[in-house]
Amino acid sequence: MAILLYVTANPKIKSESFSLTVGREFLNAYCQQAPGDRIIELDLYKMENLPNIDTDVFNGWGKLEKGESFDKLSSAEKSKVSRISELTDQFVSANKYVFVTPLWNLSIPPKMKSYIDTVCIAGKTFKYTENGPVGLLTDKKAIHIQARGGVYSKGPAREFEFGDRYIRALLSFLGIPEINSIIVEGMAQAPDKAEEIKARAIEQAKQAARAFAL
Ligand SMILES: Cc1cc2nc3c(=O)[nH]c(=O)nc-3n(C[C@H](O)[C@H](O)[C@H](O)COP(=O)(O)O)c2cc1C
């Protein structure tokens, strides 16, 4: 039985979101193919306790690095540091990841960045070596489903896309060998084609889900 972590970062409801619609179709197809797998859904815009790396976190980590006991941390330091550990451990325990995001101002929504900051932890998901950092998640696979209003898959606009490229680079940095993307793009550029673009992405997602389940 595999554990699939389904992480979404979008405050919209599904019916108003291309990425959430395509993501849900992916997940439904996946569950049909691998009914025994465990699915953990993280909706980052509904998650109440998603810490940012702030002064409390740095102070807490600093105390622990100096060998101080966990009891010596303030209550804010304790709760943020332990929540980050919990999220990292959950991430490490999963076998497969599905990230679902919209492209916002050429990048990912800030909640997704906060989440990524909780799972990129030296010693757990990557390590420093003499030859530079090395990813530790070498037996996992991931897919990123992204919706974007414009077209960035070809031409000079490619250079301006930092959402899918960032997620892929980051997951690769963590050592994940198999990373794919499903991109729903161009709906703002050609609104009359939006439904067609969505339908095509849903077909692609269903196919990808079946392969992802293997
Ligand atoms: C705050 C914000 C920023 C956006 N920035 C971009 C952008 O940089 N490039 C782009 O092509 N579309 C941009 N869009 C359009 C969205 O990418 C597009 O509406 C997409 O469908 C969003 O995904 P969703 O339908 O899953 O919410 C932006 C939309 C919002 C709300």
Exposed, middle or buried by CB within 10 Å (0-12, 13-18, 19+), for 21? buried
Class of domain 3-212: alpha beta
pLDDT at 22: 98
10 lines ligand 1 (CB under 6 A): yes
> How far apart are the C-alpha atoms of 30 and 26, rounded to whole Å?
6
Question: For residue 200, which amino acid is it?
Answer: R
What is residue 50's predicted lDDT score, i.e. its pLDDT? 98
Q: Are strands 141-148 and 96-102 parallel, antiparallel or unpaired?
A: parallel
Which residues are CB-contacts of 19 (< 8 A; sequence separation ≥ 6)? 8, 10, 100, 101, 102, 145, 146, 147, 184
Alpha carbon nearest to ligand 1 atom 7, residue: 105
53's tokens: 């790396």
Residue 162 CB–ligand 1 contact under 6 Å: no
Query: How many angstroms is it from 196 CA to the middle of ligand 1?
Result: 18
Measured from the Cα of 105, ligand 1's closest atom is: 8
Alpha-carbon distance of 148 to 136, in angstroms, equals 31
pLDDT of amino acid 191: 97
Which pair of structure tokens corresponds to residue 195?
């439904």
Does 19 sit in the ligand 1 pocket, CB within 6 Å? Answer: yes
Whether 147 is in the pocket of ligand 1, judged by its Cβ within 6 Å, is yes
pLDDT for the residue numbered 115: 98
3-state secondary structure of 158: helix
With 0.85 as the threshold, say if the pTM is over it.
yes
pLDDT for residue 71: 96
Taken in order 163, 96, 45, 75, the sign of the CA dihedral is negative
What residues have CB less than 8 Å from 53, skipping those under 6 apart? Answer: 117
Q: Which atom of ligand 1 is nearest to the CA of 160?
A: 8
Ligand 1 center–CA 104 separation, angstroms = 5
Show the beta-strand stretches assigned E in the chain: 3-8, 38-43, 96-102, 126-129, 132-135, 141-148, 178-185
pLDDT along the chain (214 residues), means of 10: 97 97 98 97 97 98 97 97 98 98 98 98 97 97 98 95 98 98 97 98 98 95
Among 104, 106, 111, which is best to mutate for testing ligand 1, by the most ligand atoms less than 8 A from CB?
104
For ligand 1, the distance from its centroid to the CA atom of residue 93, given in whole angstroms, is 31
